[in-house]
Structure 1
Amino acid sequence: MSNIFRSNILKSQKRSFSEGTALFEEDTWFFFEIDAEEESELEFYLNHELKVYRDGEWLSGVLLEDGIIVTPYERIRIENGDRIQIKKNILYSLENLLEEISDDAFHQFTTALNNLGYSIYDSIFCHNHLVFLGNQKIKEGVNFITFDNGVEVCAVQHHFTYYKKKRDRFEFTLSTGRRIVIESFNI
């Protein structure tokens, strides 16, 4: 599995964008997020991937200063009241964890998570114990990850043993009481 494959999995995740409205007040651009019902300065999202809804389609680009979005083909100026989507970030600790696990474990984890109705972008907490183990020869422990899809919460325990073989065990527990366990072994 290549980095392109992992990247494609991440791009296909639901809820990877926050949707809202662009508002221009007192010489400042704001982003009013629909789900959060709060506003933040659009300047906070400079150089982030952003989509603007125009003429019945979403146009993708990168946000620059003064409400300008640069796409591969043109520059677009955001207008007051435009519907926009801003790419969410993955929690830094979760992003590091995903880089550490094998391709097989990554695929199994994201597939199980998606099948349960969650997205990588639903993560609200991640304790990545792997980062504390540094260059130790034997790495063993548990990572804790919490996801919230707006309906239910899912707690994941990632038990790992990395020595001559890599062993990853993911235990998913939903707030409804449903539980599943998946394991990945790599020689």
Structure 2
Amino acid sequence: MNRQQRLKLYNNQERAHTEGTVEQINDQWIFFDAETEEASLMEDFLQQDVEIFRLNRWKSGVLVEAGKISIGKEILLLRDHDLLRVRKHIIYSLERLLDSMNDDAFFQFVTTLNSLDFSLYDCLYCYNHLTFLTDDTRKDGVNFIVFDNQIQICNVQHHFCYFEKVSDRFEFTLNTGKRLIIEKLIS
């Protein structure tokens, strides 16, 4: 699995965006989150990937100024009540953990998480024990990750041992009591 295949898995995640509308109030562009109704300055999203709904389809671009989106060589000007999606960020410790996983473990983890109706963007908390290990020859321990998809909670324990053999074991436990364990061994 190359970097593009991993990026494709990231991009196909549910709830990867915050959706809302924009309004210009007192010469400032304001983003209103459709779910929480919270207001944010569009300036907070400068140079981030955004999507705008125009002509019955989503167009991807980058917010270059508070009221301007760059889409290829074209600059789109925002209008009041435009529908926008802003790409969410994955928690840094989870992102580092995913980057350190081998391709098979990464694929197994993400697809299993998705099969339980959770997204990488549903992560509330990630303790990445790997970042604290300095011994280059043997690394073992447990990472803890908590996900919330607004319907259920999922706790994941990632047991790992990277020494002569590579072992990744994921224990998924939902608040309903459902449990799922997957293990990937590479010798």
SS state at 2:31 partner? strand
Per the normalisation by structure 1, the TM-score is: 0.97
Aligned match of 1:112: 112
CA deviations over 1:122-176 (Å, ceiling 9, x no partner): 1111010100003432111111111111111111000100112211000001111
Q: CA RMSD in A?
A: 1.0
Find the aligned partners of 1:63 and 1:110 in 2 and give their Cα distance.
Answer: 29
Task: Supply the distance in 1 between the matched residues of 2:184 and 2:38 (Cα, whole angstroms).
Answer: 41
Q: Name which of structure 1's ranges 26-35 and 104-113 shifts more when overlaid on structure 2.
A: 26-35
Structure 2 gap ranges (5+): none
* 2:139 equivalent to 1:159: no
Specify the alignment match of 1:125 in structure 2: 125
- Tell me how far apart the structure 1 counterparts of residues 94 and 147 of structure 2 sit (CA, whole Å): 11
- For residues 103 and 179 of structure 1, the distance between their equivalents in structure 2, rounded to whole angstroms, comes to 23
1:150 is aligned to 150
Q: Which residue type is aligned with residue 97 of structure 2?
A: L
In the comparison of the two structures, how many residue pairs are matched?
Answer: 187
Structure 1 runs of 4+ aligned residues shifted over 2 Å read: none
SS in structure 1 of the partner of residue 66 of structure 2? helix
1:25 match: 25
Give the distance between the partners of 1:70 and 1:149, measured in 2 at CA: 31
1:65 is matched with 65
**Identity between Structure 1 and Structure 2 (%):** 44
Deviation at 1:66, TM superposition (A): 3.0
Amino acid in the other structure paired with 2:88: K
String of CA shifts for 1:59-85, please: whole Å, max 9, x gaps. Answer: 110001131110114110111111100
Unpaired stretches in structure 1, ≥5 consecutive residues: none
Instruction: Give the equivalent residue in structure 2 for 1:100.
Output: 100
Residue 13 of structure 1 aligns with which residue? Answer: 13
TM-score (norm 2): 0.97
